[in-house]
Amino acid sequence: MRQFFVKTLVSVLTVGTLLAPATALAATGTGAASLHFSPPSGSYTIGSTITLTITENSSVPVAAVEADLTYPANLLQCNGPASLGSFGTSYQNTCAGGALTLAVGVQGTTVSGPQTVGTVSFTVLAAGNAALKVTGTSEIDDATTANVCDATCAAGATVANYTLSAPVVTQPNPGSGNSGSGSTNTGPTSSNTSSTGSTKPASSSTSNTSSTPATPQTTSDATIKGDSTTKPAVVAKQDATIRTSHAGVVTSSISALLVVLGVAYWIFIRQRPEVAPVKAYKLNTGKKTAAKAKTVAKKA
């Protein structure tokens, strides 16, 4: 009796062990086809676009495919619906709110081998780790509508994982191109060149770039700063002399113009209107003198 019980127990355990893989396989399909997602990983910055291509590969004729995914909606924005690939008929094509569903098929025929199911793009919204996972409704159906997908259609399987980060902003370096206070130590044999052009030996044997902010320069007699460039004092003085000379020429020209206008005013405006009255006065005086002479002659 004891031996019979032991044999029976061993037989049950053996049958269970043999059936376990088949049962697990039946939950996802016969394993003759698989889903693939590209790219499966990568690093992207905020504002960039991730283009996800969904394909299936089968060793048996396939009539329909359904790919159901979840994605973090706080990190990615789906720019759906997806673009179709080898399967011309779309049964469902939605992508929003953290869920993507793409169900496609062919009418009256089947396909086999690597086939493109569809393509969809995502826009990166924030930094983080974005994992795309398959839901339990994903499947690949053969001509008899039997699910032939392997473990790639199993619920919860991560099919893509992306690292998302903020873009790196490079700040322009003011000055002559050296960072920090304008000096760079490159080793015992290198020199330390400051922003004023002087050279002194480096004080450290390790390559070091100072992060101390540059000290503002004060305008001196030797250097005069213009709007965007720095001019030597001699050039600045020459410019001042030229400007003074130009001002003198302009002043002289204006004075000469005023003199000419004054003379013209005196000749053409002051003098001419008085010519006629003077002539009339002289004429009247002459006439009066002649009349008076006649009168005196008559009396005589």
What is the DSSP code (8-state) at residue 149? B
| Cβ-contact 135, 70 below 8 angstroms | yes
Interatomic CA distance for residues 194 and 214, integer angstroms: 10
Nearest to 51 by CA among 118, 150, 97: 118
pLDDT at residue 226 in the model: 45
pLDDT at residue 173 in the model: 75
pLDDT at residue 296 in the model: 61
| pLDDT in 10s for each residue of the chain, 300 residues | 444 433 443 343 333 333 333 333 334 456 789 999 999 999 999 999 999 999 999 999 999 999 999 999 999 999 989 999 999 899 999 999 999 999 999 998 999 999 999 999 999 999 999 999 999 889 999 989 999 999 989 888 899 999 999 998 887 777 655 544 444 444 444 444 444 444 444 444 444 444 455 555 544 444 444 444 445 566 566 777 777 777 777 888 888 888 888 888 777 776 555 555 555 555 666 666 666 666 666 665
| Cβ-contact 100, 120 below 8 angstroms | yes
Nearest to 37 by CA among 131, 146, 104, 123: 131
First to last CA, the chain: 201
Distances (CA, A) of 252 to 165, 242, 246, 249, 261: 69, 15, 10, 5, 14
| Cβ-contact 43, 168 below 8 angstroms | no
What is the DSSP code (8-state) at residue 146? -
pTM value is: 0.50
